[in-house]
Amino acid sequence: MAVDRYEATDIEILEGLEAVRRRPGMYIGSTDQRGLHHLVFEVVDNSVDEALAGACDKIEVTIHPDNTVTVVDNGRGIPVETHPQMNKSALEVVHTVLHAGAKFGGGGYKVASGLHGVGVSAVNALSEWLEVEVRRNGKVYQQRYERGVPTTSVQVIGKAKDTGTKTTFLPDREIVRTLNYNFNSLTQRFREMAFLTRGLKITLKDERGDREHSFYFEGGIQSFVRYLNRNRKVLHTEPIYTERTVDSAIIEMAIQYTDGYAESVYAFANNINTVDGGTHLTGFRSALTRTINDYARRNNILKDTDPGFTGEDVREGLTAVISVKLKDPQFESQTKAKLGNAEVKGLVESVVSERLSTLLEEEPRTAKAIIEKCLTAARARAAARKARDLVIRRSALESATLPGKLADCSERDPKKSELYIVEGDSAGGSAKQGRDRRFQAILPLRGKILNVEKAGLNKILSNKEIQALVTALGTGISDQFDIKNLRYHRIIIMTDADVDGSHIRTLLLTFFFRHMEPLIANGHLYIAQPPLYRIEAKSKHTYVYTEEEREGLLKKWGSQKATVQRYKGLGEMNPDQLWETTMDPEGRTILQVTIEDAAKADRTFNMLMGAEVPPRKRFIQTHAKQVRHLDV
């Protein structure tokens, strides 16, 4: 062995590489195909950095049949000179010290993101082997590493007329779970890279099959916008383009309007797709909105009294790419996909407004096409807003304000909630006091108003009491009826056992059948069964609900002196009694209203409306029998 004693720096280096291998996800995101691709991107990004420095215009990536990957560029070549502090070749330092890359050639525009930018040393650590060849100073240099550790020194292996860097590596199967590169995924990223780096040619060769793709765009992001709009109808043939360098920041914009409605705006910072936007996007948007509004006002397309175009108006159908390159990009947000450099907003804003206002003045046909698109968008948005407001107002009228006389329950789950529709204010008062307010709501209806026996249903619908009922239920009515909005799953009609009570009950049943049939069909409607008598003897008392029951009980209690109290109306019961006999789920009987034959029921209801007394009475009794014992 050449070395039997490590220097402190070597120990640190080994610890660094070991950390990468222990937690590869921290460096390449994952160990699946995405992670595999990250290894490739990391190496390519370094070559793109060289292109951003203006020193490289060709990158060639090859996937070999043995799943090794080679990346070749025609840049200046990674320096091989001895690094003074490390006492080692810079080439070796870059490949073995984490984040060392940034320390070399600093001051340039670096492709960087949360996952990229860890340096080629991370790729090296995660590769079974890696070989790098540098052409520089008229020589070809080479070094080999295995799992990040050098296995050779930097050797001169030949002569070179040109310059550049060539890296070949085999991702370590002990780390990554697959070596199956996806040609299309890689292609996608390289295409984007080429768009964003005007004049750079990136070639991907796949020797596993026999595929090859080259990307080179003289127009840069202008070509990008054309590509994005390739299947769209554009409103002006040339994308509007500008590139400016301000305070060492490179700012590029390309935009083109289409006849569509989608907004396709992509923002990049140092070739990273900043999907969460940031200061460059904010600057672009505000410049676009302001410049177009200014132009429209100056040319009297928008009058003083007209509201201006909104951001949405000016971005409808817009395809745009904003790309900034900064010496020191700051990325924010969880995904590191948001640009934070505050100074960039103003820079982008002024570059974009200057280009756009010049264009609007100098190219009236393009200006006209854009302004007309904005006007159409603004009109459509105003119309949509109006329609929406109308719907909201209507629904507010129908359901937002609950009727004042409704004593609602505190429960908000309709499945657990009940609504008692009670005849008369005095019974309503007892019911309100006797109820369990947690799940029982009370809606008192004024009998006299409801007692419009011969009124048509239209008149019933204009009735304030019925309107309160509809609002309390929340469902809407007739063709607007929607059972999803039902606020109570048990609706219980509670009326007096007298003529008025039966009128009201009939009317309500008719109403529900005609306008809220699903409510009956789904078993939500019930009729309460208040007792007819209270019978007391000695110290005990009981309630009876039918004449037969009363007779049976009086016979049974026979010799005893019993007091029989007849309830003519609900109002005669005190709240406790009403709860105990009619409202307490433990002790009450409620009859579920069913409709077996809708047509037959409709005829019956029709007949009930203003017909003579006998058939009406018969209906109620028959109906009651049908539904008895369907209690829940």
List active site positions.
423, 496, 498, 500
Nearer to ligand 0RA, 143 or 165 (CB): 165
**Which C-beta is closer to ligand 0RA: that of 105 or that of 501?**
105
Smallest distance, ligand 0RA to C-beta of residue 269, A: 21
Using the contact rule CB under 6 A, the part of the chain among 69-77, 176-184, 300-308, 455-463 near ligand 0RA is 69-77
Distance of CA 232 to the CA centre of its chain: 26
**How many residues sit close enough to ligand 0RA to count as binding (CB under 6 A)?**
12
Closest CA to 506 of 624, 627, 620: 620
Residue 36 tokens, joined: 């595999």
Q: Toward ligand 0RA, which CB reaches closer, 77 or 278?
A: 77
> In this chain, which of 16, 24, 35, 105 binds ligand 0RA, going by CB under 6 A?
105
Contact call for residues 201 and 194 (beta carbons, < 8 A): yes
Which among 70-78, 121-129, 265-273, 497-505 is the span making contact with ligand 0RA, rule CB under 6 A?
Answer: 70-78
Task: With contacts defined by CB under 6 A, name the span among 62-70, 71-79, 266-274, 481-489 that binds ligand 0RA.
Answer: 71-79
Q: How far is it, in rounded angstroms, from Cα 485 to Cα 470?
A: 11
- Contact between 46 and ligand 0RA per CB under 6 A: yes
Determine, following the binding rule CB under 6 A, whether residue 121 of this chain makes contact with ligand 0RA: no
Contacts of 409 (CB under 8 A, 6+ apart): 417, 418, 437, 438, 439, 440, 441
| Binders in 144-203 for ligand 0RA, by CB under 6 A | 165
Residue 75 near ligand 0RA by CB under 6 A: yes
CB burial of residue 367 (10 Å; 0-12, 13-18, 19+): buried
Sign of the dihedral defined by the CA atoms of residues 325, 331, 336, 337, in that order: negative
**Contact (CB, 8 A) for 44 and 54:** no
Name which position in 47, 121, 127, 197 contacts ligand 0RA (CB under 6 A).
47
Closer to ligand 0RA by Cβ: residue 16 or 77: 77
Nearest to 520 by CA among 487, 491, 494, 495: 491
* Residue 274, both tokens: 């900043």
Closer residue to ligand 0RA (CB): 50 or 408? 50
Asked if 78 touches ligand 0RA (CB under 6 A), the answer is yes
Nearest to 133 by CA among 169, 186, 97: 169
Collapse the DSSP code of 148 into the 3-class scheme (helix H, G, I; strand E, B; otherwise coil) and give the result: coil
Does position 73 interact with ligand 0RA (CB under 6 A)? The reply is yes
Integer Cα distance of 496 and 487 in angstroms: 25
The SS3 assignment for 412 reads coil
- Could you give the 3-state DSSP secondary structure of residue 407? strand
Q: Which of 79, 219, 260, 569 touches ligand 0RA by CB under 6 A? A: 79
Query: Parallel, antiparallel, or unpaired for β 525-528 and 490-494?
Result: parallel
**Residue 532 DSSP SS3:** coil
What are the phi and psi torsion angles at 239 (to 5°)? -60, 145
The piece of 75-83, 361-369, 531-539, 588-596 that touches ligand 0RA (CB under 6 A) is 75-83
Residue nearest to ligand 0RA according to CB distances in the complex: 105
Least distance in Å: CB of 73 to ligand 0RA?
Answer: 5
Tell me whether residue 75 or residue 239 sits nearer to ligand 0RA (CB atom).
75
Give 77 or 317: the residue with its C-beta nearer to ligand 0RA.
Answer: 77
Neighbour-count burial for 479-517, b at 16+ CB within 10 Å, e otherwise: eebebeebbbbbbbbbbbbeebbbbbbbbbbbbbbbbbb
User: Angle 77-80-81 (CA atoms, 0-180°, nearest 5)?
Assistant: 130
From 74-82, 319-327, 553-561, 607-615, give the range in contact with ligand 0RA by CB under 6 A.
74-82
Residue 515 near residue 508 (C-beta atoms within 8 A): no
Indicate whether 419 belongs to the interface with ligand 0RA (CB under 6 A): no
Instruction: Determine how β-strand 58-63 pairs with β-strand 69-73.
Output: antiparallel
Contact segment (CB under 6 A) with ligand 0RA among 68-76, 260-268, 286-294, 319-327 equals 68-76
Work out how close the CB of 80 gets to ligand 0RA at its nearest, in angstroms, rounded to a whole number.
10
Handedness of CA 503, 506, 511, 512 (dihedral sign): positive
Q: Which is nearer to ligand 0RA, 44 or 249 (CB)?
A: 44
Those residues whose C-beta lies under 8 Å from the C-beta of residue 8, and which sit 6 or more positions away, are none
Is residue 76 involved in binding ligand 0RA (CB under 6 A)?
yes
CB of 354 to ligand 0RA, least distance (A): 34
Q: Report the nearest approach of ligand 0RA to the CB of residue 202 (Å).
A: 13
Question: Which helix (H) or strand (E) is 130 found in, with range?
Answer: strand 127-136
Nearest to ligand 0RA of 73, 206 (CB atom): 73
Least separation in angstroms between residue 101's CB and ligand 0RA is 7
Taking the least distance from each CB to ligand 0RA, the nearer of 47 and 142 is 47
Which residues from 48-67 bind ligand 0RA, rule CB under 6 A? 50
Of 470, 220, 471, 413, give the one whose Cα is nearest residue 321.
Answer: 220
Stretch that binds ligand 0RA, among 44-52, 445-453, 494-502, 505-513 (CB under 6 A): 44-52
Is the CB of 91 or the CB of 419 nearer to ligand 0RA? Answer: 91
DSSP state of 87: T
Rule CB under 6 A: say whether 104 interacts with ligand 0RA: yes
Min dist CB 333 to ligand 0RA, Å, is 28
Q: How far is CA 313 from the centre of its chain?
A: 22
Segment interacting with ligand 0RA (CB under 6 A) among 28-36, 73-81, 177-185, 551-559: 73-81
**Residue type, position 231, single letter:** N
Residues that bind ligand 0RA (CB under 6 A): 46-47, 50, 73, 75-79, 104-105, 165
